[in-house]
Amino acid sequence: MTKITVNLADSISVINPNIYGHFAEHLGRCIYEGVWVGEDSAIPNTGGIRNDVVAALRKLKPGVIRWPGGCFADDYHWQDGVGPVDKRPRRVNIHWGEVVEPNSFGTQEFVRFCRLVGAEPYFVGNVGSGSVRELREWTEYCNFDGDSTLAQQRAADGSPEPLDVTYWGVGNENWGCGGSFSPEDYGTEFRRYATFVRGFGKQLYVIACGPSNNDVEWTVRFFRKLRTDFWDFRNIHGYAAHYYCGTAGTATEYTVDQWYELIHKGLFMEPLVVQQRAAMDAYDPRRRIGLIIDEWGTWHPTEPGTNPRFLYQQNSLRDALVAATSLDIFNRHADKVVMTNIAQTINVLQAMILTQEEKMLVTPTGHVYEMYAPHQGGTALPIGIESESVTFKARNSENDLPLIAGSASLKGKRLFLTLTNSHASESLEVPVELLGGAEARSGSARVLTGDIHAHNTFDAPSVVQPEAMDVTCEGSHFVLTLPAASVVAVEIQL
C-alpha cells in the first residue's frame, strides 16, 4: 500500500533557506579552478570569479556557503588571505595533498563570491592551531563599522562598509582534524571563544562543533560540560554534526543492490537528526539552539587518474536521490534543523558543479537543489508517507528500503510537494490526499529521472536534467505517477 497525506491544517515550521546551504573548502579544485580563476584568466570572470559558475549557482539558490573548511579551517590564518594579493604568503595545505595555497582567494574574495551568488557567508574559525584573538579580530575586520585599525585595513582592502558576516563556526571536526579534543576539552575551548567573539553591532550566529555521524555521546558530554561551566549557553546559536553516507560500488559503477544500499545509507540522516535533537533537548528544552548538519553527502572512490587527496568524484542520478531524500528529511525537521551544507559546491565530493578548464556542468545533485528551491521560506507541513519497500542485499544481509520519500511546504495558496521513487525499474502510482479541507485546483510538475547510472559529462552535460511532467491535481484526492528512479517536484495551486 502506497499513500501520501499532506496535512494543511497543521504546520511544522518555516523552512530556513540555509537548509539549502553549501560548503566550499580549499581542497582540490573547489576554490582554485572551481570558483577562482584570477582576473587574467581566459575563462570569463568577474574580478577573478568564474561567471559561468556564478550564473549556475544563482539558479540553485544556496542560502549560505560555508568556508574555508573543513579540516583546512583549523590550519588557516585569516590574515594570510587579506591585503595586496602579491604580498600574501604561500602556505602548504597540510590536509589536502600538501599543495601550495597561494591565498589569492581570501576573506574579501569569498564574500564577493557569496554576494554574486546570492548566498550568506559562513566562516569557520581556527580552534585547532589558531587563537581566540584571531577569531575575535576576524569578526572585527568583517563587521566593525568604526575607525579601528582592523576596520581601516578592511577599507584599504576594498570594503569601507562592513562585510556583515553573521555565521561563525568555532572550529571544524574538533574531535579529529580540528585538534583531536575530547568533548569536555572542546567545551572549555568553545567557552573561551564564545566569550570573546562578538558582532560589533551585528547579532552573530555562533556555531559549535558537533559530532561525527550520530555520536550521541559527544553531544551529551559537550552540552553537559557547557551547562556546568557556562550555565546560560551564552553565544551558542547552532550546533553542527557531520554525516557522510559514503559509497556502495563507485560513483558510476554499481549494481541494483548497491543503488538501493546507498540510498538506504543516506536515509540514516533521519535517525541521526531525531537522536541528536533529542539529546540537545535534554540540555536546551526551549530549543534555542538550532541543529545544523554542516557537512554531508556521498563519498565515492575518487575518479581514476585524479589526485586522491583532491576528492574529485562523478555524480549520478543515485547521488540525486540521496540529495533529495536528505533534503526531504531536513524539511520535515524544519522546526530544529536550521542549516545544512552539502559537501562540496564544486569539484569535490557530492558536488553541484563540475568544471574542466573552461567547461562546466551542473550535476544531478545540482539539479535537485534547483528543483527543491521553492521549499525555501515555505512552511513545512506534516506529511504521512505509507510506502512499499524493496529488499536488497548488502554485505550478505537483507535490508528493506521504503520506496517513496518526500516533503511538503506551503506558501500562500501554493503547495509544493517533492517526492522520490527509489525503485530502480518500476514506476509507482501514488495516491495523494490533502487533509484539512484543502482542495487542489491545478498542478504542474518536473521530474529528474533516467537510467540508474545516468550522469552528466563534459561531452554530454545534459543527460540528466529536469523535464516537465504531466500531472492532474484536482480536489482533495489525486494520483501521481512517479517514474522509476525519479525525483519529482509538484507545484499545486489550492
Closest approach of ligand AHR to the CB of residue 72, in Å:
6
Closest approach of ligand AHR to the CB of residue 50, in Å:
21
Closest approach of ligand AHR to the CB of residue 215, in Å:
14
Q: Which is nearer to ligand AHR, 257 or 295 (CB)?
A: 295
Q: Does residue 261 have an active-site annotation?
A: no
3-state secondary structure of 437: coil
- Give me the residue label for grid cell 525519479: 486
Q: How many residues bind ligand AHR (CB under 6 A)?
A: 10
Which of these segments, 8-16, 127-135, 343-351, 478-486, binds ligand AHR (CB under 6 A)? 343-351
Q: Does 319 bind ligand AHR (CB under 6 A)?
A: no
Rounded Cα gap, residues 243 and 213, in angstroms = 5
- H/E element, 238: strand 238-246
Which of these segments, 79-87, 342-350, 353-361, 389-397, binds ligand AHR (CB under 6 A)? 342-350
Closest approach of ligand AHR to the CB of residue 318, in Å:
19
Q: Does 380 bind ligand AHR (CB under 6 A)?
A: no
Q: Which is nearer to ligand AHR, 120 or 173 (CB)?
A: 173
- Whether the Cβ atoms of residue 291 and residue 280 lie closer than 8 Å to each other: yes
Question: 288-317: which residues touch ligand AHR (CB under 6 A)?
Answer: 295
Question: 198-237: which residues touch ligand AHR (CB under 6 A)?
Answer: none
Name the catalytic one among 25, 137, 295, 370. Answer: 295
Q: Which residues contact 90 (CB under 8 A, 6 or more apart)?
A: 100, 101, 102, 103
Helix, strand, coil content of the chain in percent (nearest 5): 30, 30, 40
Q: Does 25 bind ligand AHR (CB under 6 A)?
A: yes
- Whether the Cβ atoms of residue 67 and residue 91 lie closer than 8 Å to each other: no
Question: HSE on the CB side for 141, CA within 13 Å?
Answer: 21
Rounded Cα gap, residues 406 and 4, in angstroms = 9
3-state secondary structure of 98: coil
Q: Which is nearer to ligand AHR, 70 or 483 (CB)?
A: 70
HEC string of 172-231 equals: CCCCCCCCCCCHHHHHHHHHHHHHHCCCCCCCCEEEEEEEECCCHHHHHHHHHHHHHHCC
* All three cell numbers of 298: 556521498
Q: Does 273 bind ligand AHR (CB under 6 A)?
A: no
Q: Does 349 bind ligand AHR (CB under 6 A)?
A: yes
Binding mask 125-164 for ligand AHR (x = CB under 6 A): ----------------------------------------
Binding mask 65-84 for ligand AHR (x = CB under 6 A): ----xxx-------------
Q: Which is nearer to ligand AHR, 260 or 369 (CB)?
A: 369
Closest approach of ligand AHR to the CB of residue 179, in Å:
12
**Other C-beta atoms lying within 10 Å of the C-beta of residue 52:** 16
- Give me the residue label for grid cell 574574495: 109
Q: What is the four-CA torsion angle of 453, 363, 331, 398, rounded to 10 degrees? A: 20
Q: Which is nearer to ligand AHR, 70 or 378 (CB)?
A: 70
Q: Does residue 173 have an active-site annotation?
A: yes
Q: Which residue is nearest to ligand AHR (CB)?
A: 70
Q: Which is nearer to ligand AHR, 70 or 364 (CB)?
A: 70
* All three cell numbers of 327: 533534503
Strand 397-402 relative to strand 389-394, pairing: antiparallel
Q: What is the four-CA torsion angle of 344, 349, 351, 354, rounded to 10 degrees? A: 120
Question: 163-182: which residues touch ligand AHR (CB under 6 A)?
Answer: 172-173
Q: Which is nearer to ligand AHR, 95 or 336 (CB)?
A: 95
Closest approach of ligand AHR to the CB of residue 299, in Å:
8
Q: Which is nearer to ligand AHR, 140 or 295 (CB)?
A: 295
Closest approach of ligand AHR to the CB of residue 49, in Å:
21
Closest approach of ligand AHR to the CB of residue 399, in Å:
26
Q: Which is nearer to ligand AHR, 311 or 471 (CB)?
A: 311
Name the catalytic one among 173, 189, 261, 370. Answer: 173
Rounded Cα gap, residues 339 and 378, in angstroms = 15
**Other C-beta atoms lying within 10 Å of the C-beta of residue 186:** 26
Which of these segments, 64-72, 142-150, 315-323, 459-467, binds ligand AHR (CB under 6 A)? 64-72
Rounded Cα gap, residues 237 and 198, in angstroms = 13
Closest approach of ligand AHR to the CB of residue 74, in Å:
9
Alpha-carbon distance values, 421 to 2, 325, 406 (Å): 11, 10, 9
Could you list the active site residues?
A: 173, 295
Give the footprint of ligand AHR on this chain (CB under 6 A): 25, 69-71, 172-173, 295, 343-344, 349
